[in-house]
Structure 1
Amino acid sequence: MRLTTAEIDRYGPLYDCRPPSQDGLSVISGPNEAGKTLYLEALLQLLEPDVADVMDPSPRVNQTPTGRAVVEHNDEQYEFDGKTSLCDITQIEPSHLQSVFVVRDSDLQLPSNQEYYTSLIEKLGDIHTTEINAITSALKDRGRLTNRRLNISSDQSYHNAGDVHDKANALAEEIREYTEKIEEEGLDELDTRRLRVKRELRETREQLNEQQRAKTVAEYERLSKQLDTYRSTSDQLAELEDYDRDTLEELRALSNDLKRDKEDLRELDDDIEKKQGEVGETTEELEELNDQQSDLERRESAVDDVRTALETYRDRQDEATGADRRIELMRPAALVSLLGAGGAGVVGAITGTLSAVGLGVLLLLVSAICGVLYYQANQRLTGIETAREAALQTARDAGFDVEAVNEVAPAIESFDGKLSRIRERTAKKEQEHQSAQNTLEELRDDKSELQTQIKEQENELRERLEEANVESIEEYEEVVGMREDLEPDKQTAKQSLVDRFAEQDADDPENKAEAWEDELNELVTDVDTDEVDTDTYDDEKLQQLEAEVKRLERKRDDLQERLDEHDDTLDKFDRRARTLNSQPFIGRSLDLDTRSKEGLETLAEDLNSVVQQLDEDADISRKALEIFGRIESKEEQKLSDLFDPDGPASRTFEQLTGGRYKQVAYDPDAHDLVVERQDGRTLSPEVLSQGTKDQLYFATRVSLAQQLLGSTPGFLLLDDPFLAADPDRLNQGFQTLQELADDGWQILYLTAKQEVSETMVEEYDLNHTKMEPSSLST
């Protein structure tokens, strides 16, 4: 199989790219971004349109290429333009075309999944893996199972069997739980109970409406009376507007002041009368005191004479102080002296002594002196007695009743004290009399002023009563009482109307009344007042009916809500059952036939039949798959024949590695390649160096390609597979490619590496085509 033509008309920015298709090893070189990779992608899609779905990485251009590729196979030529497929004339699949016949430096590693090698070995040997896979695939389809865990699949190709199974099982369980709830809560009876409550509610509302109509009419009648009251009281209050409590209080105050002033006048008259008596009494007392004072003052000169006589007596008495004592002493001394003188004289006469005579003379002289002194003292006592008598007589003449001179001084003092007291009393009484007269004048003045004030008050009170058109304060008070009695009635009536109809904007009461009357008439617009018996209205019954209506409404709403929830739940069950695609599994669709507990139980049984059918199909398929799995394990051992130790993969790898590795094999347990070193050690690709790993996968691709084509030469499309190779490995790689070309393989080597376009081309004398960036549209 070889390419004879590979021309690209347009692929993204690549256009009119027509490199020659020559036998053997050909090199197409060009710098990076010259379009080499785009050319390779376009060529693959012309050969196999489905290759784009398995390309990794995905195509760089999101469009179908235009151009032409011609392949010669088994002596026949086939033209490919993106509509025919290379896989139709060979056993190559799209994944093989991209992974085996195209080798890129960036994807030298082969897929490591078992399915890839299985598809290869089925193409290369007489193995029944395909039949087994077809059977197992059919069994999985029959049981609607997933590939790996063999669970019921939810894939759309199986009509979402896994989802249907889980949803049907979950829905059946929910329905079973809900049927138990229906049984416990009596949900099937909800509609009957709701209808019964609705009937009770309707009857209660009719009774309530009757009560409300009666209340409306009663309220209309009550408010009509209130409106009449408001109008009548407003009219009466308008007439009594000038009568107010403040004026009444002023009149009362004026009357009280008048009464108080008249009482004060009466008291003032009493005070004047008393004060006049007091003035008369003080006049009499003052006259009496003046008489007493005159009497005493007339005696005052006589008392002065008594005072003088008493002073004379006292002076005489002071002069005669000790006269009595001297008299008492002089009398015996004179007598003794006289007797002594007589005795001394006798003695002297007898004796004739001079001393006795001298003593007698002396004693006689003493006796004479004592006599003189006695006389003088006696004369003083006589003067004192005369003065005493004069003093007593003067005192008696002055009106003093005295018996002894020592009573005179107290009598004088008593007189002086009495005169002084009389004068003080007289002066005080004169002052009292004057004060009483002054007070009397003031009282008379006050009386005159009070009388004037009373007259003014009486005039003012009379004038104000006349202005109010009443005879008395009591009559004014009665009118005010009438107004005050009317005001609450008006306010009560107004408040009733405001409470029912709200306040009116009008200021005039009549306008307010007219507005309220309109609203009042509006109140009974829909009520035939003649057919309503207001006696049936009972507020307590109305409240009971309102409460009963609310209770029944709540009960109805609760039942309706529960019924709605029940209906919603039934709807949800029905919708979920209808949306459940049960037709592929039991041959019919599911729904809720009857909206009842029995209908739900029937639906749950139908759902269980879906679950049971899916479980039975899955169980049967799993058992069959277990049997065929054991058969497939035996067939899988044949995969190892794909990599015969002496096959092309081992030979190519040994040549590429310079003999360091001698064998490539397939490990069916690990589903991966293994290599054997020259020293006999076995290694997995993961432990190899990157260069050796590239050589391994290149050798593997060459081997797979040879076996896919039945050991006949084909073509290889290489995109710089040795880009990272050092000069030795690059040379070894081109030796291998040259040997493949010598064996008849057509190799197209695309490169941006100068060592290839210069050294390798010249050394191996290769066909060489250059690609320039000008082949790309800008």
Structure 2
Amino acid sequence: MKLTDIQIDHYGPLPRFTHECGDNFEVFYGPNESGKTLLLEAVLKLLEPDIESAIPHVSRVDESPSGHVVVETGGTEQKLGDGSVLSDLVDLSPQHLRNIFVIRDSDLQLRDEHEFYDSVTQQIGDLHTNEIDAIQSRLVEHGRLTSVSGRGLSSARSRSNAADVRDQADDLAVDIQEYIADAEANDIAAAEREVVAVTTELQRCEDELETQEAAETWDTHATLTERLTTYREAIEQLDDEVSQSTLKELEQLNREIVAAEDEIEDLENKRSSLREERTQLKTEKDSVEAELAPLEARADDIDEVEQALASFRESHGEAVGASRGMRFAKYTALVGLGLGGVAAIVGSTIAGILLAVIGAIAAGWYGLQHRSVAAAEREQEQVLQQAQDAGLDVTTTDEIGPAIRAFRDELAGLQDRRNELERQIEVKDELIEERNDDLETEREERRSNQEKKQTVLQEVDAADIEEYRERVTALEALERKRDQAAQSLTDALGTPSTTTPDQEAKLEYWESELDALVAGVDESVDADEYDSDRLATLRKQQEELTQRRDELTEQLETHDRRLREFDERIQALSAEPFLDESVSLRSRSIEGLQDVVHDLNQLVEQIERDADIAREALDIFDGIEAEEEQKITDLFGTESRATDVFQAITDDRYTGVTYDADERVLQVHRDGQEVLTPKQLSHGTTEQLYFSARVGLAEQLLSSEPGFFLLDDAFLPADRTRLQEGFDVLRELADDGWQILYFTAKDEVGNDLVETHDLHCRMLDPLS
């Protein structure tokens, strides 16, 4: 399994990077800040995006890289980074990458070491484990954990207060980092320079401000002196007898006079209208009377006609009805006589006689009625002629009655209209008389008001209201000048302490206060130098500069206080049980704080690393059964690949790498007899041991197929001799088919060892 091509298009500040892997052993060499760590992180994220779960703090850039990595395995190439990951090709987890194939910052120890052994063994040999109490207790002690079951970091004194120290160191590191960011953003150094400049400018501003304030005082003194003169002159001139209240009375009288004149004019107009209306009513009444006179003259004749008609109807009413009966009698007589003759002829003697009798009676009655009707008709003609003579337009006696009623209705209507007009004329006369009375009242009121107005004007020798108003306006203007001057003087200087000081007392008091106002003021300053805009600007500048100076002073005092606080917290930490030396603030500066953050992070990492290793071991060995524990030991041994590599890298000083199942710890053999644990080895040897273990585990995971190693200064703490020995081993691994990509900033690697081993070296330039 090898990497054949690497292409990073974008990852944070890293420039575009392409590399075609040729030799099995290649070195990527560049100074610090050349991007080698970013390059390695980008490659790891392209191989396995979930690599952060296995390698803490792998993401220095908060983004995913764009690009690809080509991996060859089993003779087939696969491009990773476009959705495909390494675990799609081979059965390797992010933990495998971290603990076997990637070595960063000389950290060759295996993360979750014993759990990792367990997982490797399970993967290659189907291991199932049980808990071993004795080993777990020692792991708890080694990792400073609370207990086998809890496995949290302990705060007990017997465990060096590891949890408290870790938390305090981590919190302190975070606080310092946040403060460093804030201090750099606020630029403390610039603040120290600025406070000097601001203080100097503030002094210059206050000097000019003092001059302007003196000029303002002299200007105020001149203004108030002028106000005092105005006040004195005003009170001397306030002797006119006119007043605003009297002016209001005159104006009210004038309004009432005008109102009276308007009312008089209105009353006269109304009286004229009433007179016109009365004339119209009189004319209409005369017209009605002219119509009524002939009717009234005919009234007696109409009465006589009505009497004659009544008499006629009373005496000849039956005769009028008999005319209709006469026609019946006539026809009855004719029928009776005729039918009687017919009956006699046909032989009906009785019937003939009876009919003849009826006919004779009818004929006699007809004769009597005819004489009565003739007399009535002659009298009816007389009544009709009399009605026509009385002026009634009738042709029959039946029309006389309705004609008489119509005449009388017309007569009564005209009489009623005449009476109504007479009543309306009387009302108009009364209204005209009332208007005359109202006119007299209004004229009297107008005369009285005119006399009052003239009297008031004469008392003050004013020709008219307008002159009086002008004199009041002048008086009020003088009073306003007096009051304004008094108000200005009162606002600036106050008033005498007496309850109701008179004008002379005020004058004396204000003169005294004006003298006190300029007492002690620099007389060399002229009032003409006063500039209100400049004074306002200077005061604003003074306020702003003072505020800025105070802010800067507070900022610098806060900075110094924070440094003291951090120093006190640092000194309170007990780092010696975990590190070779204590953590201290060597310089009271931002750079010193940055160094402390580095040391604190190392302290936290060391505490957590010890705890993690212990937890990893506990997890690996939980439930290990006695007969299965041998399977873990099979990963190592005197004939294992790990032994071969470790023996070679240590120049045969050690002859074997084994695993103590009881103690759950790696062991190395020296001189064939002495057995040592990693804790008994030097730091460099321990790192070499774990590197050897990585090689052995890798070959077992890959079924003896060579793989690749990504090393970031894997032998950083090694001396020159061990560094050379380590590279000899790497060279052998490369010759055996392993691909070695070594990232370094060490000159002895980038120059000497590259030349010694004739390695291909890719130079990395500093990031811009």
TM range (shorter): 0.3 to 0.5
Determine which structure has more spread, i.e. the larger CA radius of gyration: 1
TM-score using structure 1 length: 0.42
